[in-house]
Amino acid sequence: MYLLPRAAAPYRVLVTNLIGPAPAAPAPQPPQPSPPAPYFNTLAIVSLVSAFFVSLVAVITGHVALVQIRRTGERGHTAALVGVILGYLGIGFWLVVAVVVIVGSVIGAASGLHFPGLPGPAGTPRSFATVAPTAPPGSSSGSDSGSASGGDLSFDDGRDVLAAATPQISDGMLGDRDWALSIPKADGTWGYASKDGTCSVTFHQGDLDAAVAVDSTDDLATTNSYLGLITGEGADLVDQKGKNDSLALGQPDAGTFVETRGLSRTDADGKPHITVARAFAVPKKGVSIDVTCTTQDKTVDGYNHVLSRTGLIIS
């Protein structure tokens, strides 16, 4: 290797002066802090949570959250998307349920009981078809209590009911989970209302009003007069438009029946009624049941339900 002699040192100085000193190493830079993480979008959380409770809210808030996230870069895209999906699934589920209920109601109405006697124009009474279980009335043995324990109690059998007998309604509506007491019992009258607010029933038992034309040999004529007074339609119209029906004699499931007289009509407010009554001419006492609902079909259903839980006891 060739080495410059020491005498060459002045040349090194000259070169250094010409090109300058060697550049210094750059100073180390302090570490820069990481940028803060973006916030989580609030509406995305609302959408996800509400998807389990209110589907429509989940859909609306989820869509708004997705728009905000695209604009601001916030977190929560997945939560908002899941909320929207679950919200649409919830809405779809309830739409299916609604369709099933509507279709079921239509089919039930088409195949259920029809009550042709209920009138169209308000205040025009019509006779009605028998909708309660009915057994053909037969002759009774005429027990001392007038209970006709040997069989059904027809209108003709009414003459066997003693003057001291007391007909009373066996009320099975108390404790019915779909009905609640609305009229406390007083002076022989009490009532219930359905908990959905569509129907009511009024029971009455007691002495016949002085305005009732009592025929001690004819319970049918007496009952027509009694029902005509209750409904305000008069005995003649009840005789023409009324129809024989029946009420359980004893407990509702006793299997024996007492013959009654019924009339359907609408009141001044257009509400349909079914009123059924039985008067006992000898003891001069009677019982009546009036069912009224918001629609014809509901009145029929309410009437059937009430009579299935009601009986007549003669003591």
Q: What is the pLDDT of residue 193?
A: 95
b/e map 217-227, b = 16+ CB within 10 Å: ebbbbbbbbbb
Cβ proximity of 278 and 146 under 8 Å:
no
Q: Which two tokens stand for residue 304?
A: 């059937």
For strands 272-280 and 257-266, give the pairing: antiparallel
**Backbone dihedral angles phi then psi of residue 294, each to the nearest 5 degrees:** -80, -25
Q: What is the pLDDT of residue 268?
A: 83
The label of the residue with tokens 């219930």 reads: 192
pLDDT digits (tens, 9 = 90+) for 92-105: 999 999 999 888 76
Neighbours of 287 (CB within 10 A): 24
Q: Name the least confident of 115-119, 154-158, 194-198.
A: 115-119
- What is d(CA 80, CA 65) in angstroms, rounded to the nearest whole number? 6
- What is d(CA 168, CA 176) in angstroms, rounded to the nearest whole number? 20
Cβ proximity of 116 and 228 under 8 Å:
no
Q: What is the pLDDT of residue 267?
A: 84
Q: What is the pLDDT of residue 134?
A: 36
Place 150 in a pLDDT band, splitting at 50, 70 and 90. Answer: low
pLDDT digits (tens, 9 = 90+) for 31-59: 766 666 678 999 989 999 998 989 999 99
Q: What is the strand order of the sheet 243-249 is part of? A: 167-171, 310-314, 243-249, 257-266, 272-280, 285-293, 199-207, 189-194, 179-186
Q: What is the pLDDT of residue 146?
A: 42
Cα angle, residue 263 at apex, residues 262 and 267 outer, rounded to 5°? 145
User: What percent of the chain is predicted at pLDDT more than 90?
Assistant: 53
pLDDT digits (tens, 9 = 90+) for 169-179: 988 898 899 99
Q: Name the least confident of 21-30, 81-90, 240-249, 266-275.
A: 21-30
Q: What is the pLDDT of residue 307?
A: 92
pTM: 0.55
pLDDT digits (tens, 9 = 90+) for 220-250: 999 999 999 999 889 998 989 889 999 999 8
Greater model confidence, 83 or 18: 83
Is the domain covering 156-314 a CATH 3.10.20 domain?
no
Place 269 in a pLDDT band, splitting at 50, 70 and 90. Answer: confident
